[in-house]
Amino acid sequence: MRNQEVADILYQIADILEIQGEIQWKFLAYRRAARTIENLSENIADVLGKQKLPGVGKAIEEKVGELISTGKLEYFEKIKKAIPPIVIEMTEIEGIGPKTAKLIYDAIKIKSIKDLEKAARSHRIQRIKGIGPKMEKAILKGLSNLKKPKRHLLGVILPIANEIYNELKQVKEVKQISLAGSIRRRRETIRDIDILVTSDKPEKVMQFFTTLDLVKKVVVKGPTKSTVNVRSDIQVDLRVVEDESYGAALQYFTGSKEHNVPLRTMVAQMGYKLNEYGVFLKETDEKVAGKTEDEIYKLFGMVWIPPELREDRGEIEAAQANSLPNLVELTDIRGDLHIHSNYSDGKSSIEDMVETAKKRGYKYIAITDHVGSVKIAGALDETTLQNQISHIRELDQQEKEIRIFAGAEVNINLDGSLDLSEDTLDQLDIVICSLHSKLRMSRKEITNRIINALSNEYLTILGHPTGRLLNKRQPSDIDLIAIFEVAKEHGKILEINAYPSRLDLNDVNSRTANQHGVLLAIDTDAHSSGQLRFMDLGVSVARRGWLERNDILNTLPLEALCKKLRIK
């Protein structure tokens, strides 16, 4: 049993316990353990019982052990029976949490998702005390999304894709290999995994692919194309093509459709045909290109277009004019400015975070634990924060390889003030300010709330600005253009939060912020040392947003960063 499968069951247990009205620490313990396990870089089966896993206590560790050894968990099966199945089913809908699911069930006793949709469309849901029209509208949107093919978070599916890619790369019959499709373009959610290879012995490649340990079901097995399902019912398609057509196939199957259609239209007007087999003269059907993507784009007067940009957002015209951006790279990142430790709801000590950051080659990090009234996140009171600041200053003085900034993630109050005293704010190097409550205020109210916060002299970075959670919670209704204008006016930084379920700001909004002259920071919001690897996801968002190194705060060298943020 793989990490995500174990985590999914722990999340379900947490939801059931919350529905049953268990005390908060109990269901939160299961959620913490689930987050730890789903974000492990190692296989849970390899490390369970051999190393201490932050947030996984003895009782939960025993249950995970039972899951791994038997594939089942007696405790889970028992508590499932105490809850009507429809209540659990409702929690899978974006916009419905455990408490809301129970509230709806207790009020109108629905028996199916179809009943839920009927109740929402007849406005019976909004009449339930504690729900209202806004939530009913969100539920209808969640129901609509439920009918679409399931899309997986990039941060969940990319490690699986890389695992398969690395295994296939070792096969001697595989000559060339690449991920393709939306995962190569690094979209924030992915439907399935596409892999393209060249080989003179495709049957051997297909035999290896369809018998991988990850494979749960072989859907189709053919000589040049096979489809399998792996964990979490993720579909993986493997195609074998000829060397002479590899570039054309890679360009075609990488997409997007929105990029390929106008490209093929342009090519046709120039007297050519472009498909997955190559580029051909229309009149004679002579093949003139197809071995590499580069030669295809070059043939039509363009520089090679990075996959992340292939969304029909002006990249074809920019490639013709040789004016594509020099996209930011992961290697450009000098540090991480949004990190949580075990002082609040993080799983790793500050020392562990520092050591992992050094291994990544970083020159600085900021420890930004939750503070104030966000008690659900283990927020520090001011006395504990003062102690942490002293701890960080001591560590920083001892360190020769990396600078450790004292920071905090501060909640933005309903009136836009910051949930921390000015005396304490003044002692911090980095202040991340975020919304953590009342995310469904009216557009005017929530926009003014953020604008007031951006006017505060102590705010350094606006964290996860829209508050969305992918596949779970829609972004707040914010006038982002107004936010960008105020951020520019006050010289404030906006965050691209790289946590897999956030990726907030997204690619489109990051590009728009940049066009308004706003500087951005890519931060992981890491809650354990292993999660510092999420930086790659944030860089992907930035690349899709056409951002260059100079558009990102934390590509600055240490001295320049301190000067920019006026840190002594």
What are the pLDDT digits (tens) for 203-221?
A: 999 999 999 999 999 999 9
Q: How wide is the angle at C-alpha 407 spanned by C-alphas 405 and 409, nearest 5°?
A: 150
Check residue 221 and give its pLDDT: 96
d(CA 70, CA 64): 10
Q: Residue type for 409, please?
A: E
pLDDT(476) > 70: yes
| Per-residue pLDDT at 375 | 67
- Could you report how far apart the first and last alpha carbons of the chain are, in Å? 49
Say whether pLDDT at 376 is over 70.
no
Candidates 469, 464, 467, 470; CA nearest to 493 is 464
553 touches 520 (CB < 8 A): yes
In CATH, what number does 246-320 get?
A: 3.30.210.10
**Would the pLDDT of 407 be above 90?**
yes
Q: What would be the CATH architecture of the domain defined by 3-146?
A: Orthogonal Bundle (1.10)
pLDDT of residue 452: 98
Q: What is the mean pLDDT of the chain?
A: 94
Half-sphere exposure of 251 (CA within 13 A, CB side): 27
> Does 2 score more than 80 pLDDT?
no
Please name every residue paired with 281 in a beta bridge, in sequence order, or none if there are none.
272
Could you write out the DSSP letters of every residue in 495-547? EEE--TTT-BS-HHHHHHHHHTT--EEEE--BSSGGGGGGHHHHHHHHHHTT-
Q: What is d(CA 131, CA 188) in angstroms, rounded to the nearest whole number?
A: 29
Backbone φ/ψ region at 429: left (φ over 0), alpha (ψ -120 to 50), beta: alpha
Domain borders along the chain are 3-146, 152-241, 246-320, 330-565
The CA distance from 332 to 338, in Å, is: 17
* Token duo for residue 424: 């304490």
More confident: 84 or 293: 293
Report the CATH number of the 330-565 domain: 3.20.20.140
The better pLDDT of the pair 407, 141 is held by 407
Place of tokens 């600085």: 364
Higher pLDDT, 40 or 20: 20
- The token pair at 153 is 């978070």
pLDDT more than 70, % of the chain: 99
Taking residues 454-466, report their average pLDDT: 98
**What is the Cα–Cα distance from 189 to 182, expressed in whole angstroms?**
8
Q: Six-digit token pair at 446?
A: 């929530």
Find all residues with CB under 8 Å of 390, minimum gap 6, and list them.
none
**Rounded to two decimals, what is the model's pTM?**
0.86
Lowest mean pLDDT among 171-180, 371-380, 399-408, 506-515: 371-380
Nearest partner of 95 among 38, 34, 157, 145, judged by Cα: 145
- The stretch 158-172 carries a mean pLDDT of 96
Residue 298 · residue 242 · CB < 8 Å: no
3-state secondary structure of 469: strand
Looking at per-residue pLDDT, the higher value among 143 and 165 belongs to: 165
Quick check: helix, strand or coil at residue 268? helix
Give the per-residue pLDDT at 495.
98
pLDDT of 13 reads: 92
Percent of the chain with pLDDT over 90: 78
* Topology classification of domain 152-241: Beta Polymerase; domain 2 (3.30.460)
Whether pLDDT at 37 is above 70: yes
Report CA-CA distances (Å) from 521 to 504, 508, 509, 548, 561: 11, 15, 13, 12, 11
Average pLDDT over residues 363-385: 89
Q: Could you tell me the pLDDT band of residue 163, with boundaries at 50, 70 and 90?
A: very high
Q: Do the Cβ atoms of 551 and 544 come closer than 8 Å?
A: no
